[in-house]
Amino acid sequence: MKLTSKLLTSLALFTLLPTAAHAASGVYVVSAGDTLSKIAREHQTTVTQLMQVNQLKSDQLSIGQTLSLPAGSLSTGGQAAIPADIVAAPNDSAQQEPAQPELTAGEKARVTVDVLNVRKKASTDARILGKLKFGDLVEVVETGSEWTKIEFEEEEAYVFSAYLSPVLTPDVAFAGTVDSASLRRLESILEPLLHTPYRLGGTTPDGFDCSGFTTYVFSRLGVTLPRTSEEQFRGGVSIPLEQAQPGDLLFYDALGKGRVSHVAIYLGNGTIVHANGDDVRYGKVEYMHKLYPFYGVKRYAEFQ
């Protein structure tokens, strides 16, 4: 009975650990439902790197198991390693954020860092109400040079102004000569689809897989795509990555099988939107290139 009691107590403690705290000091504590692929995806590393660093012989995990995270992963070298609402020291140029265009009260803004704390008051000592992810949209209530008041879960809250940018517009976020009307149309299609759950074989707003998502978005633009990512990669016009424009498709081998198995929509400035295995969300090209082999860019629509 004593052993059983200790075991239950230990399991309860691990259950109570918040996910955000798993990665303290480059260490992750396995909880129920975790897999190596899920942990790798969340911390912008790979299953192979996790297995090598932890000398794992299989992908089997147990609740409470402690894993070391590879150097350079999101928790040890990425932006989420420090609270995202703490401004770096002036001489820490590697952590300084670039100047952002001005925000406007009454309009929406987009989160530009991986994780952004939402505070009850305009202070880093204030209670954290929640966290926003890269690409999330917020309603700006009042602007400020340091803090911006936003609407968060039907109440007013504050985030650091430096980590917000106006909603993507051609003159703010997109490189190249791109038709603004087409971009606004694309943005209006994408916004209500964010956080749609991932569903293998899904092609509707009830659930998408990666190519089901791109097929649906492009159908709304009047463009018919082949159904699977492999088929989509075989069509379209090949474009060098450095010439990619919003609306182009980026292709990867996310399954490690030596062929295309994932597709994302490029949005300019190193940003993508895709059904990533959990839900529809914004992401960064630099992370995708770190995680998966890159196969190329294809263009099916001209936004200029």
- Domain with 153 in it: what CATH number? 2.30.30.40
192 and 247 fall within a common domain: yes
Domain around 13? 2-68
Contact 269, 174 (CB under 8 A): yes
28 and 136 fall within a common domain: no
Instruction: Tell me if 74 is assigned to some domain.
Output: no
Q: How many domains does the chain divide into? A: 3
Sheet holding 280-284, edge to edge: 237-239, 294-299, 249-252, 262-268, 271-275, 280-284
Considering the entire predicted model, what is its pTM? Answer: 0.64
Instruction: Tell me if 219 is assigned to some domain.
Output: yes
219 and 191 fall within a common domain: yes
* Residues classed as catalytic: 210, 262, 274
Write out pLDDT tens, residues 2-39: 444 444 444 343 333 333 334 334 778 787 777 887 78
DSSP 118: E
160 and 221 fall within a common domain: no
Instruction: Tell me if 75 is assigned to some domain.
Output: no
Instruction: Tell me if 86 is assigned to some domain.
Output: no
Instruction: Tell me if 160 is assigned to some domain.
Output: yes
Instruction: Tell me if 20 is assigned to some domain.
Output: yes
Write out pLDDT tens, residues 68-113: 887 665 544 333 333 445 433 333 223 334 445 689 899 989 888 8
Instruction: Tell me if 29 is assigned to some domain.
Output: yes
Q: Which contacts qualify for 142-146: CB closer than 8 Å, 24 or more apart? A: 142/105, 143/102, 143/103, 143/104, 143/105, 146/122
In the structure encoding, which two tokens stand for residue 59, read together?
Answer: 């992908």
Instruction: Tell me if 102 is assigned to some domain.
Output: no
- Domain with 282 in it: what CATH number? 3.90.1720.10
- Asked which of 16, 41, 68 is the last residue of a domain, the reply is 68
56 and 122 fall within a common domain: no
Which residues, other chains included, contact 86 with Cβ-Cβ below 8 Å and sequence gap of 6+?
A: 124
pLDDT, mean of each 10-residue run, the chain (304 residues) = 44 37 58 77 77 80 80 48 39 38 86 89 93 89 94 94 74 49 85 94 97 97 95 97 94 94 92 93 91 95 74
- Domain with 13 in it: what CATH number? 3.10.350.10
